[in-house]
Structure 1
Amino acid sequence: MSLVIKNLDAPLGAEISGRDLSKPIAPNEVKTIEDVWRERLVVVFHDQKLSDPQLIAFSKNFGELDPPGPNPYGESFLKDHPELNVISNVVENGKPIGNLGDGEAVWHADMTYVEVPPKAAMLHSLEVPPPEAGGNTYFANMLAAYEALPAELKEAAKDKIAVHDASTNSAGMLRKGYKAVKDVRETVGAHHPLIRTEPTTGRKALFLGRRPNAYVLGLEVSKSEALLDALWAHATQPRFTLCHRWKAGDLLMWNNLSVLHRRDPFDPKTRRVMHRSQIKGNERIH
């Protein structure tokens, strides 16, 4: 059965069906998926049941895996598969089995606090809360956001470099080995331009990372805050976003360099378990 592609009625996103991803896929299928991922930025597969080795094997079709960043607990959640991460609120034997808990995960791109961030991420849902309990994931198209950016904001962001905070995760939890940031001018993390140019297409996109503790180099703190606030308010407008309401067995793959994502909080009495991989990037942001 051939792959069936359906663009979602949103500024980004496509569903691909017709394939059991637990089995090896052909090179032409890899290329098709990659082409859709480049064009639509978020790819949704439903009704997938992948073991951890199968998730790893599927992910490797798109490049070398990038290990997860540090978590607040200082050790891998999957000791047999440290290249994967677990996103979960479940606690077993007094210890969390995964990261990020049940609160909101703010708008962010993954690991932009390193010099070469991952180019793609995959998230496979094993257990999800009922629809009314929350836990939806939202994606925002940074290519479209840049194209629609008012001229004065484009000019203000042009050639500006921002520091991307490494100290906390997207749930606001302090990572092990870091100190809380008290002055954004002392934020620890990689420096990236606010506007990224895609190397293959030349298209420009906003590259914002995560709002907390960000700082635009060379500006007074008040001016940095004002510029970042304006860019974030613009970039996360509903006209640039897609909402994904999870079902068990969903597998999502997204472009980490051209997309922001966030998660709703959800009912802590429910269980949410996701296994995650990411694909190593091959470009410094410029």
Structure 2
Amino acid sequence: MSATQRLPSSSSAGPEIHPLSPALGARVQGVDASRPLPAATLKRLLEAWHAHGVLYLPNQSLDELEQVRFGENFGELATTQGEYAISKGHPAIMYITNEKQDGQYIGALPDGEMFFHSDMCYVEKPSMATMLYAMSIPKTGGNTLFANMYKAFDALPAATRQHLAGLKAVNSYEPGTSAPTAAMRLSSSRASDQVRSYAQPVVCTHPVTGRKALYVNRLMTEYIVGMPREESDALLESLFDHQEQPEFIYEHTWTPGDLLIWDNRCMLHARGDFDASELRKLRRITVKGERIS
């Protein structure tokens, strides 16, 4: 499907849904996310989400509870980790921001570059979906990049796909120093008092689409279970380089009012660096998921 071809709508009054890029994603027009959605509109959105992995709804105006209500269309919402629960309106709300009060950051992931990853991949039941709503954006930088893990898997040689079948890899929130790319991994001024990690399949099968996707990432995947470390490191590095090729990636330049929701089971995301002196503030919610298989 070309990047300019319009997908069919269920009715003339339904949402307009256009492919966002050759790699992934769909741009949605004609939907006000602050209002309850008709059943036919919701059906169209879910179909487009499963088909394209990322939905982009521009020009939205959402308060906390309106964003929560829209997010609930995709599933049960997860509760924000306690250290980031600054919202008084709803426990699912998290702010991704470099905003400070009394000299201290008040939100999560305040600044800096963040490498490709899948949210909560270090727990038994990772997030199914993540939604970000842009409130304040720097003049330049801080873009979010998405990588299509369906396409990354499909592009692997058949022998590699066969080799990966049945393998598991440990994903960790705070990787050890022996990880292959430890110097580039997640850093946080609010480190937890224990390492959070879980072994996930290297290749997963999406429960709705039935498609296979790579489920490793440069930020949090440490090693492949049962494989000598040197061999594991080499294989992971080759997979990281493969999945980050430009043909699998869409880079989103934020504008206040943008609303994006992505499928965490088949899309990776990353963040570009930005000027820490400029305010960057986005509101996040996540949708609970099931075991990856």
TM-score, with length taken from structure 2: 0.88
Match of 1:178 in 2: 194
**Partner of 1:36: helix, strand, or coil?**
helix
**1:54 is the counterpart of 2:66:** yes
RMSD: 1.8
> Equivalent of 1:222, from 220, 225, 230?
230
Match of 1:244 in 2: 252
Q: 5+ unaligned residues in a row in structure 1: which ranges?
A: 180-187
Q: 5+ unaligned residues in a row in structure 2: which ranges?
A: 1-12, 176-183
Indicate conservation of the 8 Å contact 1:103/1:171, yes or no: no
Query: Whole-Å Cα distance in 1 between the matches of residues 267 and 185 of structure 2?
Result: 15
Match of 1:182 in 2: none
How far does residue 148 in structure 1 lie from its aligned partner after superposition? 0.3
Match of 2:147 in 1: 140
> Equivalent of 1:4, from 2, 9, 16?
16
Query: Whole-Å Cα distance in 2 between the matches of residues 200 and 41 of structure 1?
Result: 12
Query: Whole-Å Cα distance in 2 between the matches of residues 266 and 149 of structure 1?
Result: 33
Query: Whole-Å Cα distance in 1 between the matches of residues 131 and 208 of structure 2?
Result: 22
Match of 1:21 in 2: 33
Letter in structure 2 aligned against 1:142: M
Please list, as runs of the form range in 1=range in 2, the aligned pairs for 1:161-172 lying within 5 A after superposition.
161-167=168-174, 171-172=186-187
**1:30 is the counterpart of 2:42:** yes
Letter in structure 1 aligned against 2:41: E
Letter in structure 2 aligned against 1:77: I
Letter in structure 1 aligned against 2:187: G
Match of 2:160 in 1: 153
**Partner of 2:235: helix, strand, or coil?**
helix
TM-score, with length taken from structure 1: 0.90
Letter in structure 2 aligned against 1:277: I
Letter in structure 1 aligned against 2:170: V
**1:233 is the counterpart of 2:241:** yes
Letter in structure 1 aligned against 2:107: G
Match of 1:273 in 2: 281
Query: Matched residues, percent identical?
Result: 36
Indicate conservation of the 8 Å contact 1:141/1:240, yes or no: yes
Higher mean alpha-carbon deviation, 252-261 vs 9-18, is at 9-18
**Partner of 1:99: helix, strand, or coil?**
coil
Indicate conservation of the 8 Å contact 2:128/2:263, yes or no: yes
Letter in structure 1 aligned against 2:164: A
How far does residue 166 in structure 1 lie from its aligned partner after superposition? 2.8
How far does residue 20 in structure 1 lie from its aligned partner after superposition? 1.6
Query: Whole-Å Cα distance in 2 between the matches of residues 86 and 170 of structure 1?
Result: 21
